[in-house]
């Protein structure tokens, strides 16, 4: 499941690796620039986690505290993302030589051992951080880490998964939901250890996880008549039916956000912005539903823009509405 790949491209291409790979630090910089821009992901992850943390604690009706467990959550969120990225590139290392020979890994600018280094360094940091500082949430962390490793191994059925995209989504899609489930518990752990996972926290889980589903499906939808060798959701389900899946996810996300805004007292401006964003997303997806042509296939940027702006709206209103205690 590769970010940013254009599967409309032909498959029969050959990689031409460089004969003399650059030094390690240069290879890691190349990887960061091409596949995992830290200067983009780090502030995004921090802002998203703080937004989730504040929302979870506010929903519990207790004073909001950004302390040790918030640090555990932020570190875990970032290194889970890096580990998943490296695992993904390791899984597709050989296939990328045919699909994307211009990328850094097929060209030899980033080596397979570099991906192993990133993946297992992230693994080690996650283990140490949570064992040393996250004892209250170790059970949920352990479940999440186990599931992460199982997805990396394709649940020991790689050949079947690679040939069945929809089945792969059903088995791999729970991973970001599990990570968010664990991160919500790190926010709860900052308060009374006896605070339990309430129905409102399921709503928060949906708000922060549905965008992943919307993005994942949107980027695997092709215009009518523009399918390739790559198995997409539009190929499996039909273009219009497949388009309804991410659209439904975004509308549910907006609806749940409106509910959160109501119970948290975020006001009419917050609700008005959410309604406006839902309308724009509906227009963007409906245009492709009616005219499923390549110029109208802006589903992925619409999904990403909708999610980013909704979280920004939620974060700003939470910061204005609530007092936060730092450490």
Residue 187 lies inside a defined structural domain of this protein: yes
Q: Do 42 and 189 sit in the same domain of this protein?
A: yes
Examine the pLDDT at 4 and tell me if it is beyond 60. no
Last residue of a domain, one of 197, 227, 255: 197
33-59 burial: b if 16+ Cβ within 10 Å, else e: eebbeeeebeebbeebbbbbbbbbbbb
Q: Of the ranges 195-199, 227-231, 278-282, which is most confident?
A: 278-282
Residue 267 lies inside a defined structural domain of this protein: yes
Residue 1 lies inside a defined structural domain of this protein: no
Last residue of a domain, one of 197, 217, 235: 197
Nearest alpha-carbon partner for 227 in 181, 165, 138: 165
Q: How many domains does the chain have?
A: 2
Q: Do 185 and 223 sit in the same domain of this protein?
A: no
Last residue of a domain, one of 147, 168, 197: 197
Q: Do 67 and 190 sit in the same domain of this protein?
A: yes
Q: Do 158 and 73 sit in the same domain of this protein?
A: yes
Start-to-end C-alpha separation, the chain? 38
Rounded to an integer, the average pLDDT of 105-126 is 91
Cβ pair 271, 258 in contact under 8 A:
yes
Residue 101 lies inside a defined structural domain of this protein: yes
Cβ pair 80, 148 in contact under 8 A:
yes
**pLDDT given for residue 18 in this prediction:** 63
Rounded to an integer, the average pLDDT of 200-209 is 95
Residue 300 lies inside a defined structural domain of this protein: yes
Cβ pair 224, 293 in contact under 8 A:
yes
Q: Do 142 and 268 sit in the same domain of this protein?
A: no
Q: Do 97 and 230 sit in the same domain of this protein?
A: no
**pLDDT given for residue 1 in this prediction:** 40
Q: Do 204 and 317 sit in the same domain of this protein?
A: yes
Q: Report residue 193's pLDDT band, with 50, 70 and 90 as the boundaries.
A: low
Q: Report residue 195's pLDDT band, with 50, 70 and 90 as the boundaries.
A: low
**pLDDT given for residue 62 in this prediction:** 74
- Per-residue model confidence as pLDDT tens digits over 299-311: 999 999 999 999 9
Examine the pLDDT at 295 and tell me if it is beyond 70. yes
Examine the pLDDT at 3 and tell me if it is beyond 50. no
Q: Do 219 and 291 sit in the same domain of this protein?
A: yes
**pLDDT given for residue 11 in this prediction:** 42
Residue 18 lies inside a defined structural domain of this protein: no
Q: Report how far residue 317's alpha carbon sits from residue 313's, in angstroms, rounded to the nearest whole number.
A: 6
Q: Do 82 and 177 sit in the same domain of this protein?
A: yes
Q: Do 98 and 206 sit in the same domain of this protein?
A: no
Q: Do 159 and 297 sit in the same domain of this protein?
A: no
Residue 38 lies inside a defined structural domain of this protein: yes
Q: Which residue has the tokens 């983009």?
A: 40
Mean pLDDT of the chain: 87
Examine the pLDDT at 68 and tell me if it is beyond 50. yes
Q: Report residue 172's pLDDT band, with 50, 70 and 90 as the boundaries.
A: confident
Rounded to an integer, the average pLDDT of 246-250 is 96
Q: What is the CATH number of the domain that holds 181?
A: 1.10.357.140
**pLDDT given for residue 164 in this prediction:** 74
The residue ranking higher by pLDDT, 13 or 94, is 94
Cβ pair 281, 306 in contact under 8 A:
yes
Residue 77 lies inside a defined structural domain of this protein: yes
Q: Do 261 and 130 sit in the same domain of this protein?
A: no
Range of the domain at 223: 200-322
Q: Report how far residue 302's alpha carbon sits from residue 258's, in angstroms, rounded to the nearest whole number.
A: 19
**Lowest pLDDT segment from 6-15, 106-115, 137-146:** 6-15
Q: Report residue 197's pLDDT band, with 50, 70 and 90 as the boundaries.
A: confident
- Per-residue model confidence as pLDDT tens digits over 224-246: 888 776 678 888 889 999 999 99
**pLDDT given for residue 184 in this prediction:** 95
Q: Report residue 2's pLDDT band, with 50, 70 and 90 as the boundaries.
A: very low
Cβ pair 43, 312 in contact under 8 A:
no
């Amino acid at each position: 499941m590769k970010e940013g790949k254009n599967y409309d491209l032909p498959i029969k291409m050959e990689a031409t690796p460089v004969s003399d790979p650059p030094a390690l630090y240069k290879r890691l910089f190349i990887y960061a620039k091409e596949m995992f821009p830290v200067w983009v992901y780090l502030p995004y992850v921090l802002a998203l986690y703080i937004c989730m943390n504040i929302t979870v604690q506010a929903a519990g009706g207790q004073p909001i505290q950004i302390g040790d467990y918030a640090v555990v959550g932020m570190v875990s969120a970032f290194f889970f993302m890096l580990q998943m990225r490296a695992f993904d590139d390791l899984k597709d290392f050989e296939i990328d030589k045919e699909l994307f020979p211009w990328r850094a890994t097929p060209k030899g600018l980033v080596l397979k051992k570099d991906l192993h280094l990133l993946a297992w360094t992230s693994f080690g940091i996650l283990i140490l951080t949570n064992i040393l500082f996250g004892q209250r949430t170790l059970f949920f962390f352990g479940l999440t880490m186990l599931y992460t490793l199982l997805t990396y191994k394709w649940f020991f059925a790689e050949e079947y998964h690679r040939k069945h995209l929809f089945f792969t989504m059903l088995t791999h899609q729970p991973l970001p939901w599990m990570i968010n489930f664990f991160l919500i518990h790190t926010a709860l752990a900052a308060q009374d250890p006896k605070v339990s996972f309430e129905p409102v926290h399921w709503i928060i889980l949906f708000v922060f996880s549905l965008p992943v589903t919307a993005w994942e499906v949107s980027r695997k939808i092709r215009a009518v008549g523009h399918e390739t060798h790559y198995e997409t959701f539009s190929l499996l389900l039909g273009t219009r039916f497949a388009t309804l899946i991410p659209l439904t996810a975004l509308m549910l996300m907006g609806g749940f956000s409106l509910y959160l805004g109501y119970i948290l007292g975020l006001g009419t401006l917050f609700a008005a912005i959410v309604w406006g964003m839902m309308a724009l997303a509906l227009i963007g997806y409906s245009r492709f539903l009616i005219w499923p042509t390549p110029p109208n296939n802006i589903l992925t940027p619409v999904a990403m823009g909708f999610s980013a702006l909704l979280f920004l709206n939620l974060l700003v209103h939470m910061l204005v509405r609530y007092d936060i205690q730092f450490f």
